[in-house]
Each structure stands twice: as C-alpha cells, then as structure tokens.
C-alpha cells in the first residue's frame, strides 16, 4: 500500500476508523446473563491470562473490545476448544536453554539469529538461537486450556454473554 503522505491527520484518522469498522461485529442479542458471566470470568481466574480495560495479565489476548471483533459463537468455541481457530500470526514456542530448562511463550518476533517471546508471567525475553539447545514451534497449539468440562453449560452461556458485551466502550 502506498504511503498516505498527502492525507491530513484528520483524513488519516477517518480512514483508520473506516478500516476498523469493516471487521466490527454488530451488536446482537446473546443468551445468558452478562453480570453472572463477569462473575464467572473473575471466579475462574481468566484475568490471570487476559486483560480487560487494563486489568489482568497480558499473556492471552486482550479482551476489552472482543465483543466488537468476534461473534458469540466464536467466543464460545474459543472457550471450549481454544485450538480450533488460532490466528495465523500466533505461535506458541517451547525453548530448551543450554542448562536444560524449558520455557514456553508466545513468539513476538523472530529473525535468523534470535527470537523474542512473552512468557506466561508476561515477561518479555530475547534469546540468541545459537544459545538454545532446542526451539520447538508448536503450530496449532494454544496455552489456553479447554473449559468445556470446567464450566457448567449455564456458566459457559453467561461467560459468552459477558464477553459479547465487551465492545471497547468504557
């Protein structure tokens, strides 16, 4: 895409808003109780891996506007079968260091000589590949477990309803 040097800052903002709107999910009625779903989110420790409006941990996807970007059906599937629809640019990796210790994380960047990851403690780490014993790319894998057997059907419905309300608005 060519540069947009000829556009004013207002025009750039307008184009960005338009492009962002292209993937927006329309608000639609969703079964379940969002307030009970928020309780499920908190009680099951979802904030240990996800952030909403700056609260929680950033290991998993940020969820502040997830309801505007994903359908209720997609959200439900992501909870019960997280590996069913992994984004193309997401890659879970497992590194074996020279001392034999193993670290899993999400690949942030990689070049022929190094790899940068975010580990489960949300710490950013960089490694020279020559210093690693092993580098495994766990394609199609997610660090998120399935909650299919952890949540009751009602909790799953309520959690999906809650996530659907997250549209980036305060």
CA distance 161 to 157: 6
* Domain 31-84+145-165 bears CATH identifier 1.10.760.10: yes
Residue ranges per domain, the chain? 31-84+145-165, 92-138
Annotate 14-31 with b (16+ C-beta within 10 A) or e (fewer).
eeeeeeeeeeebeeeebe
CATH class belonging to 92-138: mainly beta
Tens place of pLDDT per residue across the chain (170 aa)? 566 677 788 888 887 777 766 656 666 778 999 999 999 999 999 999 999 999 998 888 899 999 998 999 999 999 999 999 888 889 999 999 999 999 999 999 999 999 999 998 889 999 999 999 999 999 999 999 999 999 999 999 999 999 999 998 75
Q: What is the pLDDT of residue 4?
A: 67
Q: What is the pLDDT of residue 9?
A: 84
Q: What is the pLDDT of residue 160?
A: 97
CA distance 120 to 113: 23
Read off the pTM.
Answer: 0.77
Residues 6+ apart with CB under 8 A from 112: 129
Q: What is the pLDDT of residue 170?
A: 56
Question: What DSSP string runs through 140-163?
Answer: T--SSPP-TTTS-HHHHHHHHHHH
> Which residues lie across from 92 on neighbouring strands?
106, 138
């Amino acid at each position: 895409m060519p540069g947009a040097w000829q556009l004013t800052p207002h025009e750039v903002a307008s184009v960005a808003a338009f492009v962002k709107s292209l993937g927006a999910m329309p608000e639609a009625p969703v079964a379940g109780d969002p307030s009970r779903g928020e309780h499920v989110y908190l009680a099951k420790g979802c904030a240990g891996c996800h952030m909403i409006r700056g609260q929680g941990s950033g290991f998993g996807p940020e969820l502040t506007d997830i309801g505007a970007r994903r359908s209720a059906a997609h959200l439900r599937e992501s909870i019960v079968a997280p590996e069913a629809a992994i984004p193309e640019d997401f890659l879970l990796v497992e590194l074996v260091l020279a001392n034999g210790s193993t670290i899993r994380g999400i690949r942030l960047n990689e070049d022929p000589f190094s790899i940068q990851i975010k580990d489960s403690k949300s710490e950013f780490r960089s490694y020279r590949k020559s210093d690693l014993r092993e580098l495994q790319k766990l394609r199609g894998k997610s660090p998120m477990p399935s909650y299919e057997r952890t949540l009751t059907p009602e909790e799953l419905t309520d959690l999906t309803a809650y996530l659907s309300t997250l549209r980036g608005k305060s």
